[in-house]
């Protein structure tokens, strides 16, 4: 890896793209088949194999994948879906797309994932699915959610590379699981996503609904169900194939940067760090999010870091307290105290595979100064 000078401006995130991706894209351009071509099944096959999943469907985004996965397990008008309020807004929005109600339950204060006991208490006779999120790449306790005998849709958009305690990769348990490939993700296709699943009929339905409801053996303008344009192009799939080739290195680099951060920040009093892997869970590192010490205002810390030239982001805001969710569902402060406390103190620091030790140390030193804890 080329050393970057440590005085360079530090971005919040930066994808790693090289000659392999350039050549892969050129190949597609020269082939003339930019969509609905051979790179789509090739990428799906390689992605499923990499995870140990039975099958995969490439889609235009993580959001599109979550939407199709919810439809595929039968969520419809008037249903309830139990999910986490500490997530990117898309995991709740997709329930609303189908006129189902996202029913939030509080999170575990350590893993920041949906708390299985809180989720159990939120299940009613109108619940038709649970939608746990592997937040920040830390595996959610999927067997605990499966106990209800209801379909489980896994939001694995942030969790490529994560592994459950039994050695099964996140996304390979058989439930529909959705990955996202926006540019800050472990693997990127610019925009894009994949749904993994065990069930062949589910793949058939998702493949049809991503392509305007067309069955594989139908004529071009014949459609036997309602569908969407949620296709992923061959250009994007070619980038995805090249990114898969370098995925081991990308994940290892992310883990290295995270370890360096945890070392550099470990001495700061009151600062909450991402939980270390425990009980056999392996995190697929996506972001490095800290919680500012109590008594500090997170937004003041963010502004002060910016003055030191360090970008950071409030990550994540609680979904139930967003304007749309307050106005549509009547949510208020105090409903999910763990989530609200974590969301109010969370700050994503610059994090990307090529981040140097020197850059991590610059961020850590700036944070120490801002918190009044510089040596």
Ligand X SMILES: Cc1ncc(COP(=O)(O)O)c(C=O)c1O
Q: Which is nearer to ligand X, 91 or 211 (CB)?
A: 91
Distance CA(82)–CA(266), nearest Å, equals: 35
Q: Does residue 253 come out as left (phi exceeding 0), alpha (psi in the -120 to 50 range) or beta?
A: alpha
Which stretch, 58-66, 108-116, 138-146, 223-231, contacts ligand X (CB under 6 A)? 58-66
Distance CA(114)–CA(100), nearest Å, equals: 19
What is the DSSP annotation of 65-123?
A: HHHHHHHHTT--TT-EEEE-SSS-THHHHHHHHTTPEEEE--B-TTT-SBPHHHHHHH-
Smallest separation (angstroms) from ligand X to the CB of 371: 27
80, 92, 235: which is closest to 155 by C-alpha? 92
Q: Which residue of the set 67, 134, 164, 185 is catalytic?
A: 185
Task: Classify residue 136 by its DSSP letter.
Answer: G
Q: How many residues bind ligand X (CB under 6 A)?
A: 14
Q: Is 193 in the site for ligand X (CB under 6 A)?
A: yes
Task: Enumerate residues 6+ apart whose C-beta is below 8 A from 123.
Answer: 82, 130, 148, 150
Distance CA(159)–CA(186), nearest Å, equals: 8
Q: Which is nearer to ligand X, 92 or 258 (CB)?
A: 92
Q: Among residues 133, 251, 268, 271, which is the contact residue for ligand X, using CB under 6 A?
A: 133
**Cα 270 vs. chain centroid, distance in angstroms?**
27
Q: Are 271 and 292 in contact (CB under 8 A)?
A: yes
Residues in contact with ligand X, shown as a per-residue x/- string from 280 to 319 under the rule CB under 6 A:
----------------------------------------
Which stretch, 10-18, 83-91, 165-173, 342-350, contacts ligand X (CB under 6 A)? 83-91
Q: Is 91 in the site for ligand X (CB under 6 A)?
A: yes
Q: Which is nearer to ligand X, 133 or 197 (CB)?
A: 133
Q: For residue 56, what are the β-bridge partners?
A: 196
Active site residue 185: yes
Which stretch, 72-80, 86-94, 100-108, 201-209, contacts ligand X (CB under 6 A)? 86-94
Q: Among residues 182, 230, 261, 351, which is the contact residue for ligand X, using CB under 6 A?
A: 182
Q: Are 94 and 120 in contact (CB under 8 A)?
A: no
Which stretch, 25-33, 56-64, 209-217, 225-233, contacts ligand X (CB under 6 A)? 56-64
Q: Among residues 48, 50, 51, 61, which is the contact residue for ligand X, using CB under 6 A?
A: 61
237, 188, 273: which is closest to 38 by C-alpha? 237
Q: Among residues 157, 194, 202, 355, which is the contact residue for ligand X, using CB under 6 A?
A: 157
Q: Is 107 in the site for ligand X (CB under 6 A)?
A: no
Residues identified as active-site:
185
Q: Which spans of this chain sit near ligand X (rule: CB under 6 A)? A: 61-63, 87-88, 90-91, 133, 155, 157-158, 180, 182, 193
């Amino acid at each position: 890896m080329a050393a970057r000078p440590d005085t360079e401006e530090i971005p919040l995130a930066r994808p790693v793209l090289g000659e392999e991706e350039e050549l892969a894209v050129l190949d597609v351009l020269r082939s003339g088949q930019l969509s609905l071509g051979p790179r789509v099944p090739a990428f799906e096959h390689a992605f499923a194999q990499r995870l140990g999943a039975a099958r995969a469907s490439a889609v235009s985004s993580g959001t599109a994948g979550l939407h199709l996965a919810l439809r595929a397990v039968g969520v419809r008008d008037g249903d309830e879906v139990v999910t986490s309020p500490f997530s990117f807004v898309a995991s709740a929005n997709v329930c609303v797309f189908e006129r189902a109600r996202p029913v939030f339950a509080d999170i575990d204060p350590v893993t920041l994932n949906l708390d299985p006991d809180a989720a159990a208490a939120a299940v009613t006779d109108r619940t038709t699915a649970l939608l746990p999120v592997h937040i920040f790449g830390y595996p959610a306790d999927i067997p605990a959610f499966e106990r209800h005998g209801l379909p489980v849709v896994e939001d694995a958009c942030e969790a490529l590379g994560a592994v459950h305690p039994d050695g099964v990769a996140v996304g390979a348990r058989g439930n529909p699981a959705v990955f996202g490939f926006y540019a800050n993700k472990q693997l990127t296709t610019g925009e894009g996503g994949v749904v993994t699943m065990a069930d062949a009929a589910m793949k058939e339905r998702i493949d049809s609904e991503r392509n305007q409801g067309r069955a594989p053996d139908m004529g071009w303008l014949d459609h036997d169900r309602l569908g969407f344009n949620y296709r992923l192009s061959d250009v994007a799939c070619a980038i995805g194939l090249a990114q898969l080739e370098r995925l081991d290195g990308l994940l290892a680099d992310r883990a290295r940067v995270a370890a360096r951060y945890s070392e550099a920040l470990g001495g700061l009093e009151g600062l909450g760090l991402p939980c270390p892997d425990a009980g056999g869970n392996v995190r697929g590192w996506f972001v490095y999010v800290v919680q500012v010490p109590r008594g500090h205002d997170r937004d003041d810390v963010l502004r002060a870091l910016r003055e030191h030239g360090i970008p950071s982001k409030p990550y994540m805001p609680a979904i139930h307290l967003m304007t749309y969710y307050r106005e549509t569902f009547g949510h208020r402060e105090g409903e999910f105290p763990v989530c609200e406390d974590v969301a109010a103190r969370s700050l994503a620091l610059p994090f990307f595979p090529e981040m140097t030790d020197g850059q991590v140390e610059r961020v850590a030193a700036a944070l120490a100064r801002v918190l009044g804890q510089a040596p």
